[in-house]
Structure 1
Amino acid sequence: MSKLLNRVAVVTGAGRGIGRAIAERFAAEGAKVAIVSRTENSSQGAAEAINAAYPGAAKAYAVDVADAAAVLAMGKQVLADLGSVDILVNNAGVTRDGLALRMSDEDWDVVLNTNLKGAFNLVKAFQRSILKSKTGRIINVASVIGLIGNAGQCNYAASKAGLIGFSKSLAREFAGRAVTVNAIAPGFIVTDMTNELNDAQKEGVLKQIPLASFGEAVDIANAAAFLASDEARYITGQTLAVDGGMVM
C-alpha cells in the first residue's frame, strides 16, 4: 500500500484510539506522520509502536491543542523536523458530559476549546504549508452527535457540529488551491468511551444501529486514508458518517 507515499501528515489525538489507528494506517500507506498527543508518554509510545512496524515513519510531539501559542510553537518544530505538511487530521477531543441545566462554564469551555478551537489552532499552524502542497488535505474528525445531538452532551454536540461547519467553510476558502477539507462523523466506535458503557447501555445503543454492531477504530482510519488520497481529490466540504447506518 502506498497511497500516501512521500507525504507528511499531522494527526492529533494520535496517542490512542481512533487517532492512533489513523496514524498507523497513514504510515502503512507510506506517509511520514507527526504523532500529536497531550502527553509525551502517549505520543512517544504511539510513535515507537508505529516505527517498530514502519521504521522512521513517525515522530512524537506533545501539546495541548487548546493552547494556541503552544500549537504554533509545535507547528514550527514539525516543519523544521519534517520539512512540510500535506495532510492534517484534527482528531483530538474530550468530553465533559452533563445536563445543560447543571453544566458549568468550565465544562463547556474545556470541550469547545479542545474540540473546536483546537482544530482552528492546528489549521493556523500548518495552513501555509498545506496550501503550498499539491495534495493538501484537511480531515476533521467530528461525530454523529454533531449531526443528531444527544441529551447530556450539549457541549460535545456543539463542538462537533461546529467542526462540521468549520470544515464546510474552510473547504470553500481553500478550494482555490486544490486543498480539500472534509469531516468524518464516527458513530459508536469501540474505544475507551464505549468500554465504560454497561451491558444495558450497549444493548440500547445497538438497537439504534442498522448494522447491529459497534465500529472499530480501523473503520475510521480507512475512511481517513481514502479522503487523504488522490482517489478523493474531487471530494470536499463533505461529512462522511461512518456509523453503521445510525443516522440514516
Structure 2
Amino acid sequence: MEGVTLDYSRRSPLLHVENLSYSVAGAEIFAGLDLVVHQGESTVLCGPSGTGKTTLLTCVLGLTRPKSGRIWLAGEDITSLPRKRLASHRRRYIGMVFQFGELLPELSPVENVALAALLAGVDRRSAYDSARALLADLGIPLDQTPTAYLSGGERQRTAVARALITDAPLILADEPTGALDQSSRDSVADLLFELPERRGRALVIVTHDQAVAARADRRFDLVAGRLVGDYI
C-alpha cells in the first residue's frame, strides 16, 4: 500500500480552492478564500474556534456548497458535479480522519478498515488482505478486539488506516490529535506527517495544537474569511 501514482507537478495542484465565499445566516465565513495544495506536502490550517476551518474541509469534501468560487480536486471542479459523480470522485481522491475517529466501536480494526474498501467497490478478500497489511505496517493490533476497547491513540491510527485504504491522494484531518494525551498525540502526528514523504499523499490538517502545526510544510491561519500565511 505505498503511495499513489498520480503525477501532479508543482504547476498542477491536487487541490485548488479558488475565490471561495460562504456565509451562514447573513454571517460571512469565507470571503474570496484561496488555497493550493500539491502532492507530497503537508498543510496545516489554524485559527480560533468558529472561524470556519472545519467548514472549509466540508466544502472540500463536497458536503457544504459554497456561495461562490470553485474547488478543483484532481483537475475536476467538484462544485459543479452532480451528487452521484461527486460521491464517486470524493471516494477516489479523499481520505478523511475525524477528531474522534468515527469508527464503528463494535467492529475490530481490520473490519473497520476493510469496510471502507468494501464501500469503494473492492472485493471482500482483497479488502481484508489490504486492511491487514496496512494495519500491520502502521503497528495496529490485528486481533478481533472491538475498536471500542483500543486506546485513543490506537483508534486514531486505525482511523488513519481507514483513510489510506483506498489509496486516496488527499488526506484531510480535522483535529486528529485533539482528544489524545501527549504520547498518543505524538504517535499519531508522526504517522500523519510521514504520509506526504513516505506515501506521496497531500495532507491537510485542521488543528489548535501548536506543536502539531509546527511540523507542517506550510501553515495558514483563517482570519476574517481568508487564509493568511505561508503561500508557495
Which interval holds the TM-score relative to the shorter structure? 0.3 to 0.5
Q: TM-score, normalised by structure 1?
A: 0.34
Q: TM-score, normalised by structure 2?
A: 0.36
Q: Which has the higher strand share?
A: 2
Q: Which has the higher helix share?
A: 1
Q: Name the structure, 1 or 2, with higher relative contact order (CA <8 Å, separation 6+).
A: 2
